[in-house]
Amino acid sequence: MGSGEDRTLAGWTLPETKTDATAQFDQFVTENRFTIAVVFPLVGAVTLLASAEGLLPDPLAFNPYFVLFGTFVMRLPLVAGVFPLVDRRAGLALVALTLYSYGIELVGVRTGWPYGEFIYGVDLGPMLLGEVPFGLPVFFFPLVLNAYLLVLLLLGNRAASTAVRLLATLATVMLVDLVLDPGAVAIGFWIYEMPQFYGVPWQNYAGWLLSGSVAVLLFDFGFDRAGLRRRLRDCPFMLDDLVSFVLLWGGINLFYANWVPVGLAALLGAGLLWTDRFDFDLSETRLGRAVWR
């Protein structure tokens, strides 16, 4: 790949360094920010609700590849944000968390511990060992990392205290799950044997305390906190995945009148507003330039 032409693929110049790749990744997310952060979760909420209400025919209803693709796209701002910070130590933490996630989910499916007895109600794509969604890390990791980043922004210098930082992050992770699980149960993603809080057993949240604690500790160990702060400062879209989460799962809970989860989603949204993460310039996006040119 010695010439400029060799480094061009379908109109894209292939990056030569990690710095070049970061710049291109950042530009792509910035130019498509509204589509990724707002359009995708709204379309996702509508299609998931239509699937749950029997308004979409097979194979469109709960199509696992649509679900995985949509989830992956909404994760792009977070992936772009942490991409330049993934070194050997962060990579090891991610590998360890991946193995832990698959392992604890497999135990949960087979034994009912620590989340309570449950079954998957819809196809979530390829299954590891025929029992655990292969895409589990794509679903789980960002929930914890978004909580961690939001805490860094909200607490500022107070996040320098390890105890304060970790406890606040774990509390935010629990807040996220109190929004996610009731919505997921409402549309039939999974079904618990002992429904209690909007169809979710309290044992599930005890399980999330365990898994969330492990994930928070591994993220805190693996990522350079000063580097995360710099990226949060320089990368305004880094928490857009959490914006998508609020729109998607807040909307689904609103449809089913799950008022406590709706209120908690609004609380997460208020935290994002406090950090100015909802406020972005549409003129920087492809959609904005198409509308206002």
**Distances from the Cα of 126 to the Cα of 46, 55, 73, angstroms:** 24, 24, 18
pLDDT one-digit tens code per residue, 187-215: 999 999 999 999 999 999 999 999 999 99
- Give the model's pLDDT for residue 18: 87
Which pTM was predicted? Answer: 0.91
- Residues contacting 50, CB < 8 A, separation 6+: 56, 61
Mean pLDDT within 148-155:
96
pLDDT band at 14; cut points 50, 70, 90: confident
| Surface-to-core class of residue 110, CB atoms within 10 Å of its CB (0-12 exposed, 13-18 middle, 19+ buried) | exposed
Average pLDDT, the chain: 91
pLDDT one-digit tens code per residue, 69-123: 999 999 999 999 999 999 999 999 999 999 999 999 999 999 999 999 999 999 9
> Phi and psi at residue 80, in whole multiples of 5°?
-60, -40
